[in-house]
Amino acid sequence: MPFSLPSLPYSYNALAARGMCQETLELHHGKHHQAYVTALNGLIESKGLQGKTLEQIVAEAGRQGADGLPVLNQAGQHWNHCLFWQVMSPDGGGDKLPGHLASKINQDFGGLAQFKEAFKQAGVTQFGSGWAWLIVAPDGKLRVTKTPNGANPISTGEGTPILGCDVWEHSYYLDFRNRRPDYLQNFLDWLVNWEAVATFLQQGGMKTGQSA
């Protein structure tokens, strides 16, 4: 099938010591993400998606508003999870960011602590299912934003995501139960792959290389 589930860049138990247990990753990647991929493949013909890249599909579905939701739900979630796996690492977290990313965060947020607080707030205040994002806005500045369900800053046209955190309850319920703020804090302190985020900043975002 045209769209496929990317392998995790680490083992299912690689993040267990850092607040994301093996069962969470197995379900999240092997069941939830896989279900979005399967559903998206099932829409290619009926929605005329042939030949389009995943990024194009997400952007176009976003512009269609409510009419685009059936496609956006699956395509957006496929894209979002592709990014999510990349921006976590068994060696993630910490305060040592690659130089150009650190200075950009200092410049646009006033410091790493301020960025983390803004990102956490975005995640906590996304009511229901959704995502928190660090994006490069059209004016070149870094911004924090949030989107519901399967949407993302590509579909809303807000900018280019370089870091995303899933705040659907399936992301954290086994590890943190109802405590979403603790999950977000843990994500920022122990899981973020800052090298990957710095690479996406330099390269103008993540390209999945997948198309229908």
Q: For another protein, which is the closer residue by CB, 129 or 199?
A: 129
Q: For another protein, which is the closer residue by CB, 94 or 148?
A: 148
Radius of gyration of the chain from its Cα atoms, rounded to whole angstroms? 16
**Nearest distance in Å: CB 128, another protein:** 4
Q: For another protein, which is the closer residue by CB, 92 or 150?
A: 150
Q: Are strands 130-136 and 142-148 parallel, antiparallel or unpaired?
A: antiparallel
H-run or E-run covering 198: helix 194-203
**Nearest distance in Å: CB 52, another protein:** 21
Q: For another protein, which is the closer residue by CB, 80 or 160?
A: 80
Q: For another protein, which is the closer residue by CB, 28 or 143?
A: 28
Q: How far apart are CA 151 and CA 69, in angstroms?
A: 9
Amino acid identity for residue 16 in this structure = A
Q: How far apart are CA 109 and CA 143, in angstroms?
A: 8
For the beta carbon of residue 75, count every other beta carbon within 10 angstroms.
35
**Nearest distance in Å: CB 82, another protein:** 18
Q: Which residues bind another protein (CB under 8 A)?
A: 27, 31-32, 35, 69, 73, 127-130, 148-150, 168-170, 173-174, 177-178
**Nearest distance in Å: CB 159, another protein:** 22
Q: How far apart are CA 194 and CA 23, in angstroms?
A: 24
Instruction: Give the pair of three-digit tokens for residue 127.
Output: 């009511």
Asked if 76 contacts 151 with a C-beta cutoff of 8 angstroms, the reply is: yes
**Nearest distance in Å: CB 27, another protein:** 5
